[in-house]
Every structure is written in C-alpha cells, then in structure tokens.
C-alpha cells in the first residue's frame, strides 16, 4: 500500500496551525505537532525542512483558507462591506490566522513567506479595486489592510475589549466594526 503524502502533509499542517496558534513559534514543539498529527516527526523535516519552514507553510495555509473562504462579490460599497463582515465572521469562527500573524509579529519580527502571501493578498486587493472602481492600488491595499488588522486585533485582543466594554459586548464590537468599515469604504470609494 502506497504512502499518501498529501494526506500526511495536510495532517502535519493542521496540527502545526493549531500548535503555533496556541503557543507561538518559540513555544511550539515539533514533538507535540508530530503527536497531534499522528505522523512521524521525520515527516516534518522531509516536507518542510525545519521548524521555520513548517511555520511558514502553516501561516500560508491558514491565510489561503481564510482568503479562499471570503470574497468580494459584486460591485459597489456594500459588496466590500459584506466582504469585511464575512472576513470578520470567518476570523471569529477560525481564529488561527489572526493568532499566527500576531505571533509572527511578536516573535519573528519580519513577514514569513512574504512572496506567496503577498500574491494571495493582491488578488483580494484586485477584488476590492474592481468592486469600488478604484484606479489607485494603494487605496485598495490600505483598505484591505485596515479590514484585516481591525478584524484580527479585535479577535486577538479580546482582553482589552473586556476591560473597556465588559465581557458581554461581542455584538456591539461587531456593530462597531461594521460602522468603522462602512466609513472607511465610503471614504475609499471617493478616491
């Protein structure tokens, strides 16, 4: 019986995404990822080279999953607002990407896998440009950046929201997020 290399790779990535999201790069252990995945730890080195390569692949996988699950559909201001809400909701339900990017910033200090991630992000920028009829790429890039970072920071820094708003204010946070996104999308659409 042959070895299903893609299934093994995906098991390792799923375990790595969970482990890195929970513990960060420094705290994650190859042994724990191997155990969670049910795969031999040598497979990690075979597929990803080292811990850094595994972290990069995990982050790219999480980003791909998120961006593939959220699209700008249609045109006009509301289509971008709808995308932002979908991104927010997906991030709330699947917080690993937000956690991974925060760990990346705190521990790595530089973007991991910037070329592939940039290509994925630029595809989303083009969706925003098309939806709003924007000529200026920088406006669409900054709009995507604002949507992503606002959504991710609200997720990862829930402790701050609890201190300021109280523990029972999740719906208010989402409403405030939508209100802020509406304002920035309207402003961007005038560019």
pLDDT of residue 190: 87
- Rounded Cα distance between 49 and 42, Å, is 10
Please list the ranges in the chain whose pLDDT falls under 70.
1-3
pLDDT of residue 5: 87
Superfamily of domain covering 5-189: Tetracycline Repressor, domain 2 (1.10.357.10)
pLDDT of residue 159: 84
Summarised one tens digit per residue, pLDDT across range 118-174 is 999 999 999 999 999 999 999 999 999 999 999 999 888 888 878 888 777 777 788
pTM (predicted TM-score): 0.89
């Amino acid at each position: 019986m042959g070895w299903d290399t893609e299934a093994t790779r995906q098991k390792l990535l799923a375990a790595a995404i969970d482990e890195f999201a929970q513990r960060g790069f420094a705290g994650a252990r190859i042994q724990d990822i191997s155990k969670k995945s049910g795969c031999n730890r040598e497979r990690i080195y075979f597929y990803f080279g080292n811990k850094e390569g595994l972290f990069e692949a995990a982050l790219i996988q999480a980003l791909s999953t998120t961006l593939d699950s959220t699209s700008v559909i249609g045109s006009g201001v509301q289509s971008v607002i709808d995308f932002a809400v979908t991104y927010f909701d997906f991030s709330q339900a699947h917080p690993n990407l937000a956690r991974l990017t925060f760990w990346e910033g705190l521990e790595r200090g530089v973007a991991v896998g910037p070329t592939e991630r940039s290509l994925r992000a630029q595809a989303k920028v083009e969706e925003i440009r098309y939806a709003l009829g924007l000529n200026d790429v920088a406006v669409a890039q900054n709009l995507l950046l604002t949507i992503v970072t606002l959504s991710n920071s609200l997720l990862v820094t829930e402790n701050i929201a609890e201190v300021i708003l109280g523990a029972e204010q999740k719906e208010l946070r989402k409403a405030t997020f939508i209100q802020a996104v509406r304002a920035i999308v309207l402003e961007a659409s005038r560019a």
